């Protein structure tokens, strides 16, 4: 990847003249089966541009209450677009039920209710343990939205993991959303960059919005070259990360007291909790850091481990050996009822 970056052909993308960016955008659009694509610096900006694109000021976007967009993107839709995000309960599968969406839309014709413009999905869904949304669900959701005049944006930060989990090919998944974003970073291993993909008209407008948000880049071909490498060399190997995630989960399951969100993860994310008093999570993470392994607590005691191209099957064994050393020394256990629940 570094060789591709060093050798990248570049131009000024502000004028649409960077050949590497144009090649990356064309490849992304082709892979997702949509007419056009736009390179942005981050997944957060791709989601924000999508919301601004589909939602007039004063309107309402329905978003998952466990989505990255709602939890961790700084409230950008309200701050920069005057768009209200309405959080909808997330199912354990990562899906938003049509019943809950219908309920949220009940009064949408009333003048004192913010008009609804958009439904946002996350695929794979990180906080539910990297779950891939079912193709049948996506088809239903898309019909539901279309019948109500709503756009659908899919935050596919880990879209390629969803496809690698066998839920459908990339284009089949993307077909059910008006716009789709995906990250070149994360499992695909590029240093930065996300693509927003959709119709030619939507992407032309997204380009204006990106500019207004300060996301236009000049000789971005260096970044695009990393993205081109990621799409050509990073996609086919994602199954290895999923297999490593399953091995990690199987090993963690054998450590007394550890609690997994899912016994067999679908993609590259493993969530688990450690037994013990409230300080046990912090003590565990510190203990693992002492072993040279970095883990993050992602809310309410759940620890997230993410598998990617730089973590091998041998590394998973090393992690499990460290867990077996660290876990027994944790502060004393609390009653089991206090640690049950999938939400993270
Ligand atoms: C599902 C999801 N969407 C969006 C983002 C934001 O991406 P970025 O960090 O590139 O802004 C993340 C980041 O982890 C994510 O997990």
pLDDT digits (tens, 9 = 90+) for 81-116: 999 999 999 999 999 999 999 999 998 889 999 999
pLDDT band at 210, cuts 50/70/90? very high
For the Cβ of 44 lying below 6 angstroms from any atom of ligand 1, the answer is yes
Q: Express as a percent the part of the chain with pLDDT over 70.
A: 96
For the Cβ of 68 lying below 6 angstroms from any atom of ligand 1, the answer is yes
CA 274 to centroid of chain Cα atoms: 25
Q: Range with the lowest mean pLDDT among 98-107, 253-262, 324-333?
A: 324-333
| pLDDT exceeds cutoff 70 at 314 | yes
Q: Ligand 1: distance of its center to the CA of 49 in Å?
A: 14
For the Cβ of 76 lying below 6 angstroms from any atom of ligand 1, the answer is no
Mutate-to-test residue for ligand 1 from 39, 127, 186, highest number of ligand atoms within 8 A of CB: 186
Q: Ligand 1: distance of its center to the CA of 262 in Å?
A: 21
For the Cβ of 130 lying below 6 angstroms from any atom of ligand 1, the answer is no
| pLDDT exceeds cutoff 50 at 338 | no
Q: Model pTM?
A: 0.94
More confident residue, 238 or 168: 238
| pLDDT exceeds cutoff 50 at 344 | no
SS3 of 121, please? Answer: strand
Strands (E), 230-268: 259-260
pLDDT tens, 144-167?
999 999 999 999 999 999 999 998
For the Cβ of 157 lying below 6 angstroms from any atom of ligand 1, the answer is yes
**67 Cα nearest atom in ligand 1:** 1
Mutate-to-test residue for ligand 1 from 65, 72, 271, highest number of ligand atoms within 8 A of CB: 72
pLDDT tens, 4-58?
999 999 999 999 999 999 999 999 999 999 999 999 999 999 999 999 999 999 9
Retrieve residue 19's tokens: 């050949």
| CA–CA distance, 182 with 337 (Å, rounded to integer) | 38
For the Cβ of 42 lying below 6 angstroms from any atom of ligand 1, the answer is yes
Distances in whole angstroms, Cα of residue 36 to Cα of each of 26, 132, 317: 7, 24, 43
Q: Express as a percent the part of the chain with pLDDT over 90.
A: 88
Q: Range with the lowest mean pLDDT among 96-100, 152-156, 294-298, 317-321?
A: 294-298
């Amino acid at each position: 990847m570094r060789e591709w970056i060093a050798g990248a052909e570049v131009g000024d993308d502000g004028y649409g003249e960077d050949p590497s960016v144009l090649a990356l955008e064309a490849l992304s659009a082709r892979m997702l089966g949509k007419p056009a694509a736009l390179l942005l610096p981050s997944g957060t900006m791709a989601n924000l541009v999508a919301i601004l694109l589909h939602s007039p000021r004063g309107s309402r976007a329905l978003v998952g209450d466990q989505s990255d967009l709602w939890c961790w993107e700084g409230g950008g839709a309200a701050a920069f677009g005057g768009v209200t995000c309405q959080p909808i309960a997330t199912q354990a599968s990562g899906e938003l039920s049509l019943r809950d969406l219908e309920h949220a839309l009940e009064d949408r014709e009333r003048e004192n209710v913010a008009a609804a413009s958009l439904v946002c999905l996350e695929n794979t869904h990180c906080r539910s343990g990297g779950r891939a949304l079912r193709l049948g669900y996506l088809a239903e959701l898309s019909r539901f939205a279309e019948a109500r005049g709503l756009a659908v944006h899919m935050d596919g930060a880990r879209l390629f993991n969803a496809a690698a989990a066998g839920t459908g090919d990339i284009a089949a998944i993307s077909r059910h959303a008006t716009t789709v974003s995906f990250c070149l970073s994360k499992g695909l291993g590029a240093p930065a960059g996300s693509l927003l993909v959709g119709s030619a008209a939507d992407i032309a407008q997204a380009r204006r919005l990106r500019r207004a948000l300060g996301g236009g880049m000049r000789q971005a071909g260096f970044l695009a070259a990393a993205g081109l490498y990621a799409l050509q060399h990073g996609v086919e190997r994602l199954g290895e990360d999923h297999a490593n995630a399953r091995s990690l989960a199987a090993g963690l399951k054998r450590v007394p007291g550890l609690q997994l969100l899912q016994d067999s993860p679908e993609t590259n994310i493993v969530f688990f909790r450690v037994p013990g008093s409230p300080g046990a999570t912090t003590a565990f993470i510190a203990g693992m850091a002492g072993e040279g392994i970095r883990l993050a607590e992602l809310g309410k005691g759940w620890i997230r481990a993410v598998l990617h191209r730089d973590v091998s099957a041998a590394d998973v064994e090393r992690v499990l050996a460290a867990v077996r050393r660290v876990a027994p020394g944790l502060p004393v256990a609390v009653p089991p009822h206090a640690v049950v629940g999938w939400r993270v």
